[in-house]
Amino acid sequence: MKLLMDLVVNHTSDQNEWFKQSRSSKDNEYRNWYVWKPAKYDEQGNRQPPNNWVSHFQGSAWEWDEHTQEYYLHLYATEQPDLNWEHPPVRKAVHEIMRFWLDKGADGFRMDVINFVSKDQRFPDAPVKDPRTPWQWGDKYYANGPRLHEYFQDLGKILKEYDAFSVGEMPFVKDTEEVLRAVQFDRNELNMIFNFEHVDIDHGTYDKFEPGSWKLTDLKAFFERWQTFMYDNDGWNALYFENHDQPRSIDRYAQASEKYRTEAGKMLATILALKSGTPFVYQGQEIGTRNVPIEWDMDEYKDLDCLNHWHRLLKHRPDDKEAHQSARREYQKKSRDNGRTPVQWSSAPNAGFTGPNAKPWMSVNPDYVRFNAEAQVKDPKSIYNYWASVLGLRKKYLDIFVYGNYELVDRDSQEIFAYTRQYEDQKALVLANWTEKTLEWDSASNGVKRAKEVLLNTYDSAESVKERFSGSKWELRPFEAVVAIV
Share of the chain above pLDDT 90, in %: 97
Q: Of these residues, 63, 82, 139, 169, which one is catalytic?
A: 169
Give tens-digit pLDDT for 354-369. 999 999 999 999 999 9
Q: How does pLDDT run across 364-413, given as a tens digit for each residue? A: 999 999 999 999 999 999 999 999 999 999 999 999 999 999 999 999 99
| Catalytic residue status for 112 | yes
pLDDT above 90 for 185 = no
Structural domains in the chain?
Answer: 4-8+83-377 (3.20.20.80), 404-485 (2.60.40.1180)
Catalytic residue among 79, 86, 107, 112: 112
Phi, psi for residue 178 in degrees, rounded to 5: -65, -45
Q: Can you say how many angstroms the Cα of residue 97 is from the centroid of all Cα atoms in its chain?
A: 25
Are the CB atoms for 19 and 68 separated by under 8 Å?
Answer: no
> pLDDT of 311-331, one tens digit each?
999 999 999 999 999 999 999
- Quick one: what percent of the chain has pLDDT higher than 70? 100
Instruction: State the distance between the two ends of the chain, measured CA to CA, in whole angstroms.
Output: 34
Q: Specify whether the backbone of 375 is left (phi greater than 0), alpha (psi in -120 to 50) or beta.
A: alpha
201: three-class secondary structure by DSSP: coil
What is the 3-state composition of the chain as percent helix, strand, coil, each rounded to the nearest 5?
Answer: 40, 15, 45
pLDDT at 174: 84
| Closest residue by Cα to residue 448 from 484, 424, 478, 415 | 484
Sign of the CA dihedral running 56, 60, 62, 68: negative
> Which of 176-180, 301-305, 407-411 has the weakest average pLDDT?
176-180
Q: Is 17 in the active site?
A: no
DSSP element (H, E) containing 422: strand 416-423
Render the burial of 230-253: b for 16+ CB within 10 Å, e for the rest: bbeeebbbbbbbbbebbbbbbbbb
